[in-house]
């Protein structure tokens, strides 16, 4: 084993056993879940941690953050589950709203909190109760900020969708669009619902 490889292995080993004393001490390591990718933007991570601190009375789970990085195109895994105890992150595909991308370019161009906009709203959400809707098992979202406080009235939720899959990415370079909801692949929704439990903070934005 070369010196560089030995050093990398040693650091990785320490990272596996070291638990940050606070959320601010986190050092990210990319996840190896069902769909894995790089770590979330440090800027969005900072905003999400600040939101968790601001809304700590409204959320029960202080060990996990869900972050949707809409700076990235829909073909990229851009929904991160971040374990605040050890810095491990796992990423998944997630759709954005039609109103945020009218030309269906695959990129979020704008956010909206307006009824009928079919757009994604930015900001912090508290994950609510589970229900069975037209797409199957889904989870409600409660907007915690003025920019997304109409989420419940607009029925902005977490749900599975047929138009979120790798086949569409291969065929057209992007996934489909939702009506403002956080829509996930059928193959990922069970893990999303298991980990993004009621009482978790979900933060969405772009940089």
Q: Give me the chain's average pLDDT, please.
A: 86
Q: Residue 78: what pLDDT?
A: 98
Share of the chain above pLDDT 70, in %: 82
Condensed to tens digits (0 to 9), the pLDDT of residues 60-96 reads 999 999 999 999 999 999 999 999 999 999 999 999 9
Spatial distance between the Cα atoms of 71 and 82, rounded to a whole number of angstroms: 18
The pTM of this model reads: 0.83
The residue behind tokens 């406080």 is: 149
Condensed to tens digits (0 to 9), the pLDDT of residues 4-45 reads 443 333 333 333 333 333 343 333 333 334 434 478 999 999
Judge residue 137's burial from the number of C-beta atoms within 10 Å of its C-beta, 0-12 exposed, 13-18 middle, 19 or more buried.
middle
Q: Which domains does the chain have, with CATH numbers?
A: 3-205 (2.40.440.10)
């Amino acid at each position: 084993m070369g010196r560089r490889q030995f050093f990398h292995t040693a650091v990785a080993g320490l990272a596996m056993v070291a638990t940050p004393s606070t959320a601010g001490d986190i050092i990210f390591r990319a996840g190896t879940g069902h769909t894995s990718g790089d770590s979330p933007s440090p800027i969005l991570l900072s905003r999400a941690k600040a939101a968790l601190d601001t809304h700590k009375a409204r959320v029960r789970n202080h060990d996990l953050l869900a972050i949707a990085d809409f700076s990235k195109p829909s073909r990229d895994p851009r929904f991160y589950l971040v374990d605040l105890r050890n810095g491990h992150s796992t990423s998944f595909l997630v759709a954005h709203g039609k109103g945020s991308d009218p030309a269906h370019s695959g990129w979020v161009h704008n956010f909206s909190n307006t009824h009928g906009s079919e757009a994604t709203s930015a900001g912090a959400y508290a994950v609510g109760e589970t229900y069975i809707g037209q797409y199957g098992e889904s989870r409600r979202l409660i907007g915690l900020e003025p920019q997304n406080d109409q989420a419940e009235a607009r029925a902005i939720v977490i749900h599975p969708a047929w138009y979120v899959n790798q086949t569409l990415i291969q065929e057209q370079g992007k996934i489909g669009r939702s009506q403002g909801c956080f829509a996930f692949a059928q193959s990922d929704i069970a893990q999303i619902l298991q980990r993004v439990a009621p009482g978790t903070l979900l933060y969405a934005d772009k940089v």
